[in-house]
């Protein structure tokens, strides 16, 4: 399965993944995706485009588990030939694989006020991008017959769909996911502790948030989830302007999306210090995730969805 830590695979590095992604037949722009009215259709488009690109990349077999050998037949893919066995026995055998399925996947989506931000008028908000990404991952998991659940939160958990694998369940997931709206403050660390207490079965927890929370507070929450046996994946979703702080205005009025507090600033004066603080926060978060064995990926809302999946899965498969 594509998210299991102990799965071994023959893959290229992240740079090769980026090259493969650029060659995919569907290089989906978030602003194009925003015009699709149905999250289910969007998820199918992203995943099918991703899978098509995957077949052209060096990822073959990353989501499978070895089961047995069979004798080589002319026309078989030589990538599956066991060369070591050939060297020992002088006989040609192909490795057969089967998909590892039936995991429980829980998607956690942050809907706090800061997720409402878009760098420009008419642009994709962080919440929209989170919805696109979560829907794509849900479709990819369901495609492998895994149970998919959804939990959305701001100041508290307000949406919960238990992880199930049955007919019609994904329509519920897509429907609840598409109805999410951003607003209010966030209590990310507290929410993760609550989720860790709620989930009774070990599984995969995928968290999508802008992570405006102290990494020190998150460390305890990550440890709680890991102690319960969950494989945790963290996607930090930011707008490009939040990272680079490139504004042409001489005077800028900043407003806190969660508290509505306003602050006038001179971009030229504060830009350098702002970038340094954001860079420090991202790097500290990255290190906190690594220390607690949480897979971390930073994505910006201008990044195509299939590209994000390639970049992320290449690192997981390469473990």
- For position 294, what pLDDT does the model report? 94
Please enumerate, as own/partner, the contacts of 245-251 that have beta carbons within 8 Å and a separation of 24 or more. Answer: 245/270, 245/271, 245/274, 245/275, 245/278, 246/271
- For position 186, what pLDDT does the model report? 87
- For position 198, what pLDDT does the model report? 94
Token pair, residue 290, equals 């690594």
116, 156: one domain: yes
94, 104: one domain: no
Token pair, residue 83, equals 């060369």
- For position 216, what pLDDT does the model report? 95
Q: Please give the average pLDDT of every successive group of 10 residues along the chain, which has 319 residues.
A: 41 40 53 84 83 53 49 71 75 61 86 90 91 93 89 95 92 96 92 95 94 95 96 94 77 68 72 87 96 94 83 63
87, 109: one domain: no
The reply to whether 170 falls in a domain is yes
For every residue of 53-119, DSSP letters joined together read HHTTTTTTTTTEEEEEEEE--TT--GGGB-HHHHHHHS--EEEEEEE----EEEEEEE-SGGGG--S
User: For 247-298, how does the pLDDT look when each residue is reduced to its tens digit (9 = 90+)?
Assistant: 766 666 766 766 677 777 777 777 788 889 999 999 999 999 999 999 999 9
- For position 132, what pLDDT does the model report? 95
218, 88: one domain: no
The reply to whether 275 falls in a domain is yes
- For position 59, what pLDDT does the model report? 39
The reply to whether 37 falls in a domain is yes
- Domain, as residue range, for 24: 14-60+100-317
87, 171: one domain: no
> What's the pTM?
0.75
């Amino acid at each position: 399965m594509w998210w299991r830590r102990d799965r071994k695979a023959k893959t290229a590095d992240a740079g090769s993944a980026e090259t493969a992604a650029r060659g995919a037949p569907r290089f989906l722009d978030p602003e194009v995706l925003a015009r699709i009215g149905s999250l289910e259709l969007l998820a199918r488009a992203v995943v099918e485009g991703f899978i098509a690109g995957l077949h052209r990349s060096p990822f073959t077999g990353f989501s499978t588990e070895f089961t047995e050998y069979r004798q080589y037949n002319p026309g078989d893919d030589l990538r599956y030939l066991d060369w070591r066995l050939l060297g020992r026995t002088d006989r040609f055998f192909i490795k057969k694989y089967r998909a590892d399925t039936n995991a429980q996947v829980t998607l956690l989506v942050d809907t706090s006020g800061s997720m409402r931000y878009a760098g420009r008028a008419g642009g994709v908000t962080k919440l929209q991008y989170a919805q696109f990404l979560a829907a794509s991952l849900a479709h990819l998991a369901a495609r492998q017959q895994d149970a998919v659940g959804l939990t959305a939160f701001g100041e508290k958990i307000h949406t919960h769909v238990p992880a199930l694998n049955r007919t019609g369940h994904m329509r519920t997931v897509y429907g609840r996911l598409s109805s999410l709206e951003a607003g209010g403050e966030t209590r990310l660390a507290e929410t993760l502790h609550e989720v860790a207490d709620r989930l009774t079965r070990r599984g995969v927890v995928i968290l999508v948030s802008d992570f405006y929370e102290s990494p020190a507070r998150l460390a305890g929450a990550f440890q709680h989830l890991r102690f319960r046996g969950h494989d945790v994946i963290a996607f930090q979703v930011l707008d490009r302007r939040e990272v680079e702080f490139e504004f042409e205005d001489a005077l800028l009025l900043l407003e806190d999306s969660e508290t509505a507090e306003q602050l006038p600033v001179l971009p030229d004066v504060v830009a350098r210090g702002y970038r340094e603080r954001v860079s420090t926060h991202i790097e500290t978060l990255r290190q906190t995730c690594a220390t607690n064995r949480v897979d971390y990926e930073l994505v910006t809302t201008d990044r195509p969805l299939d590209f994000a999946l390639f970049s992320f899965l290449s690192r997981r498969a390469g473990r």
